[in-house]
Amino acid sequence: MGVNAIPSSLLSVDDGRPDPRILAQGHPPAGPLIDTFARVADDLRVSVTDRCNFRCTYCMPAEGLRWLPKPEILTFEEIDRVVGVFSSLGVRAVKLTGGEPTVRSDLPALVRMLRERDPDLELSMTTNGILLDRLAGPLAEAGLDRVTVSCDSLLRHRFAEMTRRDALERVFGGLRAAEGAGLVPIKLNVVVIGGQNDGEVVSFARFARETGYEVRFIEYMPLDAEHRWERDKVVPNADVLQRIDAELPLVPADGEPHPASTYRFADGAPGAIGVISSVTEPFCDTCNRLRLTSDGKLLACLFVLEEVDLRDPLRSGASDDELVGLIRAGVWAKWEGHRINHPDFVRPTRSMSMIGG
């Protein structure tokens, strides 16, 4: 069945679940990875570990989480095999994440495996940046294309407060190393939290102009392990853009990448501003992302309540065709959208670092 074969009258339902009448038609046997809402998934986030060397307040408790035992984590060979299957289904972009991906030992070896299997794969990584001072070179040499570095404050004390690590200088060093190694264009992720770093958005825009980075403001989502999230702390990206535009006029960028809406500076200065407005302006209707957790579960959405296990089938000898069947079925059943703004919203069991953001 092709994407266009789904009757549009069936594409919207009240509770966000796929219409059972479409689900009952089974998943398409060939072609791109589509769901019952006619979205095509071609972007995969691969978590390589649930561990982290930071303790960002909006993500993890100060004492950390109970880490998964090593045997539960996919080996590099297993990750490579699964990524190969996803590639055969049209996935073109893979982003390594975690937890903190750079704490997984010998990460460049995984990058090399993925690169050797597919020279055309768009291969990037999201990192807190603290280990890039020593890893940027080896990762670039192994075939990583670029990095996104998370950095929530340009002020030492606030950075330390938000990440529970006094590491801003070292992250700056990591950014310089990433540039030196050619892991560009660099994107900087900033989670904006009301009453904490929201006064810094214009400073971040100036930083984008000075460095040429794309600074991406991410709305705070209810995915923190301690369940401290409050709607009042979410700063709508519309406000962020307004504040920046008042001082440094912005224009929408052409051919903007999805799902971040991207803006450039009207005066032609380098750098860009991106916004990921998952809470106030969800982009679920065009979401093309899938996630593979470090223990081998496929999540069609950050907020899914049902995961598809790929690890046990993988370890008990499943063929590529069998994995394809599991993946297609998992994507086919993707919900219409997350339910953050609905009264019936249920938080998923896994928090952000256990999924892979």
Q: Which residues contact ligand SF4 by CB under 6 A?
A: 52, 54-56, 59-60, 98-100, 128, 150, 352-353
Q: How far apart are CA 192 and CA 274, in angstroms?
A: 13
**Least distance (Å) from ligand SAM to the CB of residue 317?**
32
- Judged by beta carbon distances under 5 to 8 A according to partner kind, the member of ligand SAM, ligand SF4, none in contact with residue 60 is ligand SF4
* Concatenated DSSP letters of 249-308: -EEEPTTPPSSSEEEEETT--S-EEEEE-TTTS--GGG--EEEE-TTSEEESSTT-S--E
- Sort 252 into a burial class: Cβ within 10 Å, 0-12 / 13-18 / 19+: exposed
189 in contact with ligand SAM (CB under 6 A): yes
Contact residue for ligand SAM among 79, 89, 221, 324 (CB under 6 A): 221
Q: How far apart are CA 143 and CA 271, in angstroms?
A: 24
235 in contact with ligand SAM (CB under 6 A): no
Helix (H, G, I), strand (E, B) or coil at 43: strand
Q: How far apart are CA 134 and CA 96, in angstroms?
A: 17
- Judged by beta carbon distances under 5 to 8 A according to partner kind, the member of ligand SAM, ligand SF4, none in contact with residue 36 is none
Question: Among positive and negative, which fits the CA dihedral 295, 296, 301, 303?
Answer: negative
- Judged by beta carbon distances under 5 to 8 A according to partner kind, the member of ligand SAM, ligand SF4, none in contact with residue 223 is ligand SAM
Nearer to ligand SAM (CB atom), residue 87 or residue 148:
148
Of the ranges 30-38, 220-228, 231-239, 339-347, which one interacts with ligand SAM (CB under 6 A)? 220-228
Q: How far apart are CA 254 and CA 239, in angstroms?
A: 22
**Least distance (Å) from ligand SAM to the CB of residue 221?**
4
**Least distance (Å) from ligand SAM to the CB of residue 129?**
8
- Judged by beta carbon distances under 5 to 8 A according to partner kind, the member of ligand SAM, ligand SF4, none in contact with residue 221 is ligand SAM
Instruction: Report how many residues bind ligand SAM under the rule CB under 6 A.
Output: 20
Q: How far apart are CA 276 and CA 188, in angstroms?
A: 12
Tokens for 297?
């579960």
- Judged by beta carbon distances under 5 to 8 A according to partner kind, the member of ligand SF4, ligand SAM, none in contact with residue 218 is ligand SAM
CB 350 within 8 A of CB 232: no
**Least distance (Å) from ligand SAM to the CB of residue 161?**
15
**Residues in touch with ligand SAM (CB under 6 A):** 52, 58-59, 97-98, 100, 126-128, 150, 189, 191, 218, 220-221, 223-224, 352-353, 357
